[in-house]
Amino acid sequence: MIDFRYHLVSLISVFLALAVGIVLGAGPLKEAIGDTLSGEVDALRERASDLRTELDETQVALGLSEEAFATVAPDLLDGVMPGRRVAVVTVGSVAPGVVEAVGERIRQSGAEVTASVQITEAWADPARRAYRQSLAATLVEYLDPVPPQDAGTGAELAEALTQSLTTADPADPDGFSQDARIVLDVLVEAELVTLQGEVTMPADAFVVLVEPAVVAEPPAEGATAEPVDPDEAERREEVIVTSMQIATVAQARSRGAVVGSGEVVEGGLLERLRNANLNSRVSTVEAVDTVVGQVSVVLALSARMGGPPGHFGPSESATQLVPPRVVHPPFDRVPEVPEEGLDDGTGSVEEGTDAVAGGADGTAAEVETSG
């Protein structure tokens, strides 16, 4: 049985230990402990200062590199895509400055931005799923070609958007077909897309800009990153799926499509595009928030319009650091030739014409490989 004397002895032992610690800390060990701690603090402070200096120097070097590349960019892009027409589609939260910069680089290449379209949250809002299904079923009647019956609502809407931005009036290559105008008006009125400015002419190709570092799944247990809210994870997954659907259909209905986003992260959009079967069709570009990335978007699009797809940027999953410089010659757009304008039945256009329909110019391109 434990009595009062046991408790008293225990308390005395504790206080003696504390007293000995205080005496040693204030006496023989005081200077040693203090010197050790002070030395560690000074070393950490010096290391932090060195890292800060290195970071500042790196940022200055990167800034100078960006400035240097921005200086040569107009000459690098000049005449790459003369007379071509590009529609820019934005998915998720992309900085307005990035969209404007990419548009400016497109114009420096001699091409024109014919449409700037923002996909809204309503495009994939679960609360509006039934409405979108009904809307897509209506829009399909205005599409040619018609999506497969099992394509799904998202793919049908992507088909509707891309055809509304590319389908020209057969009698006027600078104007839209009546069905294309109807479809685009419906998408805008349904608040599935918003237009930044006027949609001027049918597009030949697409640039799809997607918010950076889009990762759908929360980090694995034990990861240092903060867990992602389930609603945010669902939103990110919707951005990824929507972007992949639009990019896939845009490539199929135009001369070429390029997806530009931020860095390549595990589970993100660029990684999926590069690892999925889509890598045989859609080109991708990293770091579109930089001058190099923005210029690469235009060069990648020109290369895609003239050849196979590629994946560009500094990550290991990229096929090249920057795209090759593919130069397309100028060309004239003419209305489609009616049947009586054909030759002896071979299906070829009369000699001397240069028919262009739906952005398919059919012209050869000059390729300048990068070092």
CATH number, domain of 168, equals 3.40.50
Strands 112-119 and 168-169: unpaired
Rounded Cα distance, 305 and 294, in Å: 17
Most confident stretch, 41-45, 212-216, 337-341, 352-356:
41-45
The predicted model scores a pTM of: 0.77
Decide if 280 is inside a domain: yes
Question: What's the average model confidence in pLDDT over 245-260?
Answer: 96
Inter-CA distances, 318 with 3, 24, 91, 240, 371, Å: 76, 62, 22, 19, 15
Decide if 108 is inside a domain: yes
Q: Which residue has the higher pLDDT, 265 or 361?
A: 265
Decide if 99 is inside a domain: yes
At residue 41, does pLDDT exceed 60?
A: yes
Decide if 358 is inside a domain: no
Give me the domain span that covers residue 157: 81-218+235-334
With a pLDDT cut of 90, the percent of the chain lying above it is 57
At residue 163, does pLDDT exceed 50?
A: yes
Rounded Cα distance, 70 and 81, in Å: 19
Decide if 137 is inside a domain: yes
At residue 223, does pLDDT exceed 60?
A: no
Decide if 57 is inside a domain: no
At residue 347, does pLDDT exceed 60?
A: no
Rounded Cα distance, 97 and 94, in Å: 8
Which residue type sits at 200?
T
Please spell the DSSP secondary structure of 159-208, one letter per residue: HHHHHHHH-EETTEEEEE-HHHHHHHHHHHHTTSEEESS---S--SEEEE
* Preceding peptide of 227 cis, ω within 30°: no
Q: Determine whether 234 is exposed, middle or buried from the number of CB atoms within 10 Å of its CB (0-12, 13-18, 19+).
A: middle
Query: Which run of H or of E encompasses 102?
Result: helix 96-108
For the CA atoms of the chain, what is the radius of gyration? 30
At residue 308, does pLDDT exceed 50?
A: yes
Question: What's the average model confidence in pLDDT over 341-349?
Answer: 42
Which residue type sits at 70?
A
| Lowest mean pLDDT, pick from 7-11, 19-23, 357-361 | 357-361
Decide if 30 is inside a domain: no
CB 281 within 8 A of CB 206: no
What values do phi and psi take at 176, rounded to 5? -85, 155
At residue 185, does pLDDT exceed 60?
A: yes
Decide if 86 is inside a domain: yes
Question: What's the average model confidence in pLDDT over 18-36?
Answer: 59
Average pLDDT, the chain: 82
At residue 246, does pLDDT exceed 80?
A: yes
User: Based on the structure, what is the number of domains in the chain?
Assistant: 1
